[in-house]
Structure 1
Amino acid sequence: MEHGIPGDSPNPYDPPVDLDPEAYELTIDHDEQGPDLFKVLFVDPAGLWMGGALQCYYRRWKTLLEHHFSEAPSEYMAIGGTRCSGRNICFADFVPIVINFCKDLSDGDIVNLTELAESLMLKDLVTRDAAQLPRIKQLVFATLGWISMLYIPAKNYVDGNLVIQVRGGSTNSRRLHTWVRPEQAMENITGSLRDVLGDFSNDSRGPLSCINGLAGPAEIDVLKATNLNFFVLAKLGGLRIIWADSICMHLELDRREKTIMMFQHPSICALMCSAGDKGIYLDSLPGALEPSPAGSFYREVLLTYRLVFGQHKRSWRLCCKEGGLERQKQGSWKIWLGWGLVLRSFRLCGITKAEEATRISLGQDSLLLRLCCADCTQEPVYDEIGAPDVRSVYSAQHDFPFFGDRLIALQEYVRLIEPMDLRALYYDRRDLSRCMSVWTTMVFGTVTLVLATLGVFLAAGQIGTTFKPN
C-alpha cells in the first residue's frame, strides 16, 4: 500500500523529514470533544442540533463508549501516539482516534483493518512503531464494536487474535447463534470489515443476513402482530428475554433454550438514525439499501420494539410489571428507584449477577423502558424517526428488510404451538375470532351444565318432598 510519504526512513510510519509532525496530529480541545464526537457520526451533520432528546441519546452512547474503553485490555493502552508522551492512552486521547476512525469510514475508501490502523499511525494518534501494527489493528477492531454496538469485543487480550463476546450453551445450540466463533487469527484476515464480521458468524445467519436484508421473497412474507407480541411470546410460547449488548443479536431465537435476544440500548439506535437519509459513518460497511443502509438498520430495530411491545396493551403492561416500573395515580410512568426490584425482574429475563453490577454502574437505558413498557402512540421517538402507522399485518420483506427473516422464524415458532390446557388456551390470543368462539362456547356450555345440574337437584328435591311420609 503506497502512502505517498517522502523520505527514506526504515520505518514507513515515521513522519516525513520536510513536514511538521504536528500536521499529522488531530488536535481537539477537550471542551469541544462533545460536539466533534457527535458530528463525526453523521455524513452531513448540518441542521442537526444536539439538544433535547438527541442530546440524551448522545450522552447514553458516550457513557457506553467510556465504559467499554475503561474495561479494555491494558495492552491497548500502551500504544499511544506523540500526544500521550509515553503514558498510557486515556479517554481524552481515545476521542481523536474515534473521530479519525469515523471520518475514514465515512469516506468509504478505507474499509479494512490494516488501512484504518495505518491511518491512525500516520496521524500520530497511535505509535508509529511498525511492530505494534497487530495490536493497533486489534484496537481498531475493538473501536468499531464499541461505537457501533454491532458486536462486543472481549475484555481479555489474546495476542495475534481478534476476540469478541459470544453466547454460551451447547454446540448444537450455538449453531443457531449470531456469533459462533469467539476469535479469529489476524494472519488469516485479509478482507474488508464486512468480511471480518462474516468470519465470526455462520454463513446462513448472523449480521450479514441482517445488514443486507432478505435475499429474496420470503416463503411466508406476512407478519401478524398477534403472533409476535410479547404477551403471546412469553405466556404461550414460554420464551424468556435475554437483554443483549450486540445489536446483531437482536431478535435471535433459541428454540432449545426458549430464549429471545433483545438489544438493550435503543438510545444508540435513535442516535444513529436521527440523520435520516443523510447517512452515517457506517454506510460503507453494509453496501446495501440506499440511501443510508446503516441508518435504516438502526431505525428498524426501534420499529421491532413497537411490534413486540408498544402496539399491544397486554404486552407492554406485562413488560411493565416485570421491568421495574410503577404507575402513578396521574397515569404517567416513572422509573422505580429501588434497584432491587429492577434487578430482580431482569434476572427473570436471563441477566447474570455480573451484568446486574454493570447496569447499576451505567444505569438503565430510559428509552428501553419507554419503548417496552408504554403505549407506542404516546412515544415521541417514533415521530422523530418517521415511523409508519401501526398496522396489524406487516410485510417481512418491505417493512422489515433487515430483521424480517428473524421475525418469520419467531412467528413460525409461535404458529406451531398448540394449547394443551386451559391456562394455555386462556393466553392464546393469536386468532381473536377463534379465541372468542372457543370461550363463548365454553361459557355457554358451562352455564348450560350448571343450569342442568341445578335442574336435577331441584327435581330430586321435588320428588323427595312428594314421597315424604306424613
Structure 2
Amino acid sequence: MAESLQLGPLFEALQVYDPHDEEVTLDGIIWHLQCIEMLDRAEELLGAQRLLIFAVLGWRSMLFLAAFNVCSLGHLSIRQDSCQPQSGHVFDEYIQPAGYVSSLPLAILLKAYGNLIPSGSSSSTQVASEKSKASSSWLPLYPKETNAYLLQTLLRVRIRWVDTLALHLDYDKSSKTLSIFAYPSFCLSTLHAGGLLYSFASIDHGDANPDDISQLLREVLLSYRLLFGQSGPSRKLFRRHLTPSDIPPCEMDPLLPLLCTNAQLPYFSPDMPPDRPIYFAARDFPVYSERIELIRKELRDARPKSLADQVRDKRDTLQYWTFWLVAIFGGLGLVLSLVQVIQQGIQLSMG
C-alpha cells in the first residue's frame, strides 16, 4: 500500500466506483483500486488492504465499525464493545476469515456477521397494503402510548446513542437498554444523494433490495418522531436529560434535536416521511417491524410500579381518570371524615 495513501482520495475513488454489479466483492474493489494505482499490488499487503477496505465500507455505510488489532490480518472483525449491551439479535459473529468474506458479494457479506440490515417481513409487499387481508390483524401504534418517556418511566429503559445503523432500535431486555442511531442527517442525505450503503442492496428475493434500503432510512427518520417528537413528555425528556454529553464524542447532529423536540416539523425535505396520528408497524415500519413490535409489546405489558408511575401513565384514558376521580373523591371523603372527628372532639371537650 502506498505510504502516501490518504483516506479522502480513497473515499472519492470508492464513490466514483459505486458498483451496482451484484457480484462485486471486497477483493473486487481492491483489484479496481489497484488498477487505478490507488493501492499497491504487493501480495504481502493484501491482508492490510482487505482490513482497510472493510473498514471504509463500514465508515461510509455507517452500518458497522471494523475492529483493529484484535485478530490477525487473516480475519476481519467487527468492533464489539463488551461493556455496551446488545440484544443478540443483530450480530451472530464478530469475526470471520478474511478470505471467505472478501470473496462474498457485498449484498451477502454482511450476512456472515448477522442481521445488520433488518430484512423485515418476508412478504412485506403484501403486508404493507391496507387493503390486504393481513391488515385486519394490525395493532395500532399511538405516539402517546409508544414513546421514550414511557419507556423510561414504566420500564426504566436507558437510551443509548450509537453511531452504527445496524444497532438502531436494538432493545436489550436484560439491561433494559434501547440503542438509537445518533445521526439522522446521514439517512436524509443518503436518501437524497445515494451512497455506499446502497452497494449492500440485492435484487434477490428475500434480501434487502435498493427500495428496502430507502425504506430503512425513512423508517429511521420516522422513528425519532414516534419515540420523541410526537409526545410532549418525550420532547421534554430529550431537552432536559438526553444532552449532547450522552451522544458519542463529536458534534451533535443538528437534525436530531429538530426531529426530537418539535411537535410540528417545518418542511425541510421531500424525503422526510410525514407524521401520522396512528402508526402500524407493518405499514409504516415494515423493515423495523420486529424491533418496533418488541418495544410496543414491552410497553403494553408494563404496569405502573409506584404511585408516581400511576400518575404519569396516561395510556388508558379511562383508567387514568378513574384513578384521579377515586383519589379526589376518596381524599375529600377522608378530609370530611377528619373534619367530622375534629368537630366531635371539640363538642365533647366543650360539653
1:305 maps onto 2:224 in alignment: yes
CA shift for structure 1 position 220:
5.9
Query: In the TM superposition, what whole-angstrom CA distance separates every residue of 1:132-155 from its partner, at most 9, and x where no partner exists?
Result: 333322222211111110111124
In 2: Cα distance, 1:155 partner to 1:367 partner: 31
Query: Which residue of structure 2 lines up, in the alignment, with residue 229 of structure 1?
Result: 147
CA shift for structure 1 position 127:
1.1
Q: TM-score, normalised by structure 2?
A: 0.86
Relative distance call for 1:424 and 1:452 in structure 2 (3 A) is same
1:371 maps onto 2:259 in alignment: yes
CA contact (8 A) 1:226 1:431 kept: no
CA contact (8 A) 2:121 2:286 kept: yes
Relative distance call for 1:234 and 1:384 in structure 2 (3 A) is same
Q: TM-score, normalised by structure 1?
A: 0.65
Query: Which residue of structure 1 lines up, in the alignment, with residue 131 of structure 2?
Result: none
1:196 maps onto 2:103 in alignment: no
Relative distance call for 1:167 and 1:95 in structure 2 (3 A) is closer
CA contact (8 A) 2:229 2:263 kept: yes
Query: Which residue of structure 2 lines up, in the alignment, with residue 389 of structure 1?
Result: 275
Secondary structure at 2:109 match in 1: helix
CA contact (8 A) 1:280 1:292 kept: no
In 2: Cα distance, 1:108 partner to 1:432 partner: 54
CA contact (8 A) 2:221 2:272 kept: no
| Of 217-226 and 116-125, the range deviating more from structure 2 | 217-226
One-letter amino acid of the counterpart of residue 251, structure 1: L
Query: Which residue of structure 2 lines up, in the alignment, with residue 270 of structure 1?
Result: 188
Relative distance call for 1:182 and 1:244 in structure 2 (3 A) is same
In 2: Cα distance, 1:285 partner to 1:221 partner: 31
One-letter amino acid of the counterpart of residue 195, structure 1: I
**Which residues of 2 match residues 295-334 of structure 1 at below 5 A?**
295-324=214-243
CA shift for structure 1 position 162:
1.0
1:126 maps onto 2:39 in alignment: yes
One-letter amino acid of the counterpart of residue 168, structure 1: S
Relative distance call for 1:367 and 1:411 in structure 2 (3 A) is same
Relative distance call for 1:147 and 1:167 in structure 2 (3 A) is same
CA shift for structure 1 position 267:
1.2
CA contact (8 A) 1:167 1:174 kept: no
In 2: Cα distance, 1:153 partner to 1:312 partner: 36
CA shift for structure 1 position 444:
1.8
In 1: Cα distance, 2:327 partner to 2:4 partner: 72
Equivalences, count: 334
Query: Which residue of structure 2 lines up, in the alignment, with residue 56 of structure 1?
Result: none
Query: Which residue of structure 2 lines up, in the alignment, with residue 285 of structure 1?
Result: 200
Superposition RMSD in Å: 2.5
Query: Which residue of structure 2 lines up, in the alignment, with residue 65 of structure 1?
Result: none
1:163 maps onto 2:77 in alignment: yes
Secondary structure at 2:160 match in 1: strand
CA shift for structure 1 position 308:
0.2
1:187 maps onto 2:187 in alignment: no
1:89 maps onto 2:5 in alignment: yes
In 1: Cα distance, 2:231 partner to 2:162 partner: 23
One-letter amino acid of the counterpart of residue 176, structure 2: K
One-letter amino acid of the counterpart of residue 319, structure 1: F
1:135 maps onto 2:48 in alignment: yes
CA contact (8 A) 2:62 2:163 kept: yes
Secondary structure at 2:341 match in 1: helix
Query: Which residue of structure 1 lines up, in the alignment, with residue 176 of structure 2?
Result: 258
Query: Which residue of structure 2 lines up, in the alignment, with residue 29 of structure 1?
Result: none
Secondary structure at 1:377 match in 2: coil
Which residue among 154, 171, 176 is the counterpart of 2:88? 176
The gaps in structure 1 that reach 5 residues or longer are 1-78, 81-86, 325-341
In 2: Cα distance, 1:108 partner to 1:440 partner: 66
Secondary structure at 1:184 match in 2: strand
In 1: Cα distance, 2:139 partner to 2:106 partner: 31
One-letter amino acid of the counterpart of residue 313, structure 1: G
CA shift for structure 1 position 197:
1.2
1:417 maps onto 2:302 in alignment: yes
Relative distance call for 1:93 and 1:274 in structure 2 (3 A) is closer
**Which residues of 2 match residues 435-446 of structure 1 at below 5 A?**
435-446=320-331
CA contact (8 A) 1:223 1:408 kept: no
Secondary structure at 2:315 match in 1: coil
One-letter amino acid of the counterpart of residue 67, structure 2: A
Relative distance call for 1:460 and 1:175 in structure 2 (3 A) is closer
Relative distance call for 1:192 and 1:433 in structure 2 (3 A) is farther
Q: Percent identity, aligned pairs only?
A: 26
In 1: Cα distance, 2:270 partner to 2:332 partner: 51
**Which residues of 2 match residues 8-19 of structure 1 at below 5 A?**
none
1:241 maps onto 2:159 in alignment: yes
In 2: Cα distance, 1:248 partner to 1:95 partner: 21
One-letter amino acid of the counterpart of residue 187, structure 1: G
Relative distance call for 1:433 and 1:280 in structure 2 (3 A) is farther
